[in-house]
């Protein structure tokens, strides 16, 4: 029976990959598609959260790439991820910088239900996990050292004695993350679980969306810009967030980043640009033109070994964008990352916007997020491999991406070599091995992947 299920899943995957290859080949063929038409809607409003990985939107605006596409864009910072998502759903926002898990969660009805799609992945990496100075001091005693500095990556096994001591004292060990379906939540949970610390389950079918069932570390939501102040106040012992809010803790001497998400999962997908499916259907030319502008911005951000990053930092440091000091944003955005104060290391890929096909909306990226929703109980019931594939296909839209790529190639802004090879496996990355726990992730076998993880729901398990 298992062999039959695996065969069925692989067959579905081949069908899905072949369909994608046909759509991509059609989009990239000069004779297969009429010239891209004028935008059906040219006045647009986009939302974002004050994080450095919103950079493609800011750069597309400041460098005139939106205007080149006949788009007149207003960019508005949002108070939190829930407000941002609601703005896209109700039409106040035409699109937004989103957590990769948001379109998937909305489409499957976890939280606010709406069909959100993404034709563009905004970046790879960009997050870190920071702990209080007191927690760091206790962790550091458990770490191997080299030349007077901790050896990285730092496993959560070094945090285990700290968690136990705090719990034995009658308190809870608490950590912040930015949203229940955020990359930060899943990365923090992954890191904790890899170190043997249970981060807790969700049970939405029982009305429990706290995510703290059986938890040894209690995770809760804190908006990104509020993370440092919340840590300083002692409300939490640590957090997982995007930049510049880890480096801000270093500059203020209120926290120590212990690991980046690059070290948890090398070149992990982070944010996406999300729109309602209805918007993409009503305004197809506009949608393609949005992706074109964002692609040009992403390329500019990574061009010439990050040569444009200082200029990007100047843009992001302005109050209408991220609004943090230039030095704080530059600490990670220009290819370095500072852990303990004075321990600054070269991390050229801490923020990636275009390299490694960072912008491509891989189905396998979507499948990974869905496996984490299942792992921690946000998806209460077991799902077949086919369900993961079909859900990914509903949300991630490489066909729209390919149409934008075709147009940019024809206009001379891009070269075909800058995009993935479109073959029968398009949409799925090869199996990825560079996780902190050494587990291999193969997006073509989601249930087998879940079985390989020590902590978390798998198979027919339900809470």
- For 259-276, what is each residue's pLDDT tens digit? 999 999 999 999 999 999
Phi/psi for 102 (5° steps) reads -65, -50
Give the C-alpha separation, 343 to 140, whole Å: 14
- Which tokens hold the place of 406? 């075709």
Residue 87 has pLDDT above 80, yes or no: yes
> How far from the centroid of its chain's Cα atoms is residue 55's Cα?
14
**pLDDT, average across residues 351-375:** 97
Q: How far apart are the first and last CA of the chain?
A: 25
Residue 327 has pLDDT above 90, yes or no: yes
Contact 341, 422 (CB under 8 A): no
- The pLDDT value recorded for residue 459 is 96
> How far from the centroid of its chain's Cα atoms is residue 47's Cα?
16
Domain ranges of the chain: 2-124+269-325+351-451, 127-264
Q: Of 120-124, 140-144, 316-320, which gets the smallest average pLDDT?
A: 140-144
Residue 122 has pLDDT above 60, yes or no: yes
The CB density around residue 1, as the number of other CB atoms within 10 Å, is 5
For domain 2-124+269-325+351-451, which CATH number applies: 3.40.190.10, 3.40.50.300, 1.10.230.10, 3.40.50.720?
Answer: 3.40.190.10
Average pLDDT, the chain: 92
One DSSP character per residue, 384-410 reads -HHHHHHHHHHHB-HHHHHHHHHHHHH
- The pLDDT value recorded for residue 14 is 45
Residue 375's contacts (CB-CB under 8 Å, 6 or more residues apart) are 189, 450, 453, 456, 457, 458
- The pLDDT value recorded for residue 8 is 40
- Which tokens hold the place of 70? 């006949």
* pLDDT tens track for 285-298: 999 999 999 999 99
Q: What is the dihedral of CA 452, 453, 455, 458, to 10 degrees?
A: -60
Residue showing tokens 């006949």:
70
Q: How far is CA 376 from CA 186, 211, 244, 400, 436, in A?
A: 9, 8, 28, 31, 18
- The SS3 of residue 149 is strand
> Among residues 108, 40, 18, 181, which one has the least CA distance to residue 395?
108
Residue 398 has pLDDT above 90, yes or no: yes
pLDDT band at 403 (very low <50, low <70, confident <90, very high): very high
**pLDDT, average across residues 93-108:** 98
2-124+269-325+351-451 matches 127-264 in fold: yes
Share of the chain above pLDDT 90, in %: 90
> Among residues 366, 152, 130, which one has the least CA distance to residue 228?
130
Give the C-alpha separation, 191 to 268, whole Å: 14
- The pLDDT value recorded for residue 34 is 58
Give the C-alpha separation, 116 to 127, whole Å: 24
**pLDDT, average across residues 394-402:** 96
* pLDDT tens track for 219-263: 999 999 999 999 999 999 999 999 999 999 999 999 999 999 999
Contact 260, 267 (CB under 8 A): no
Contact 249, 256 (CB under 8 A): yes
Instruction: Report cis status (omega within 30 of 0) of the bond before 153.
Output: yes
pLDDT band at 426 (very low <50, low <70, confident <90, very high): low
Residue 24 has pLDDT above 70, yes or no: no
Q: What is the pTM of this model?
A: 0.93
Q: What is the CATH superfamily name and number for domain 127-264?
A: Periplasmic binding protein-like II (3.40.190.10)
> What is the DSSP pairing of strand 218-221 with strand 174-177?
parallel
């Amino acid at each position: 029976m298992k062999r039959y299920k695996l065969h069925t899943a692989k067959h579905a995957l081949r069908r899905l990959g072949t369909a994608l290859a046909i759509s991509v080949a059609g989009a990239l063929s000069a004779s297969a598609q009429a010239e891209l038409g004028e935008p059906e809607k040219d006045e647009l409003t986009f939302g974002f959260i004050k994080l450095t990985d919103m950079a493609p939107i800011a750069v597309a605006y400041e460098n005139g790439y939106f205007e080149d596409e006949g788009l007149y864009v207003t960019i508005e910072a949002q108070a939190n991820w829930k407000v941002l998502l609601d703005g896209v759903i109700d039409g106040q926002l035409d699109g937004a910088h989103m957590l990769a898990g948001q379109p998937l969660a909305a489409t499957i009805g976890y939280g606010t239900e709406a069909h959100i799609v993404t034709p563009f992945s905004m970046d790879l990496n960009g997050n870190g996990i920071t702990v209080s100075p007191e927690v760091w001091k206790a962790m550091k005693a458990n770490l191997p050292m080299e030349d007077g500095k901790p050896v990285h990556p730092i496993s959560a096994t070094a945090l285990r004695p700290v968690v136990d001591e705090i719990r034995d004292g009658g308190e809870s060990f608490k950590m912040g993350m930015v949203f229940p379906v955020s990359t930060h939540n899943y990365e923090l949970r992954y890191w904790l679980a890899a170190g043997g610390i249970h981060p807790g389950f969700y049970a939405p079918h029982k009305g429990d969306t706290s995510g703290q069932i059986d938890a040894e570390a209690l995770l809760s939501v804190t908006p990104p810009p509020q993370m440092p102040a919340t840590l300083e106040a002692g409300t939490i012992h640590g957090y997982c967030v995007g930049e510049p809010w880890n480096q801000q803790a270093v500059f203020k001497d209120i926290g120590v980043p212990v690991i980046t998400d690059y070290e948890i999962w090398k070149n992990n997908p982070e944010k996406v640009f999300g729109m309602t499916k209805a918007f993409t259907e009503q305004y197809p030319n506009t949608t393609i033109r949005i992706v074109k502008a964002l692609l040009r911005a992403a390329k500019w951000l990574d061009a010439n070994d990050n040569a444009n990053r200082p200029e990007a930092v100047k843009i992001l440091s302005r109050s209408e964008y991220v609004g943090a000091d230039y030095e704080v944003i530059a600490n990670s955005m220009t290819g370095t990352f500072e852990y303990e104060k004075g321990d600054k290391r070269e991390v050229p890929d801490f923020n990636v916007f275009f390299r490694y096909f960072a912008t491509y909306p891989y189905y396998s990226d979507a499948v990974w997020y869905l496996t984490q929703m299942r792992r921690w109980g946000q998806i209460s019931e077991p799902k077949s491999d086919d369900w993961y594939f079909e859900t990914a296909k509903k949300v991630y839209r490489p066909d729209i991406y390919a149409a934008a790529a075709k147009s940019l190639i024809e206009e001379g802004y891009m070269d075909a070599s800058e995009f993935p090879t479109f073959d029968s496996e398009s949409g799925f990355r090869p199996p990825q091995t560079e996780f902190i726990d050494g587990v291999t992730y193969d997006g073509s076998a989601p249930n087998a992947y879940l079985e390989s993880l020590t902590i978390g729901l798998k198979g027919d398990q339900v809470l």
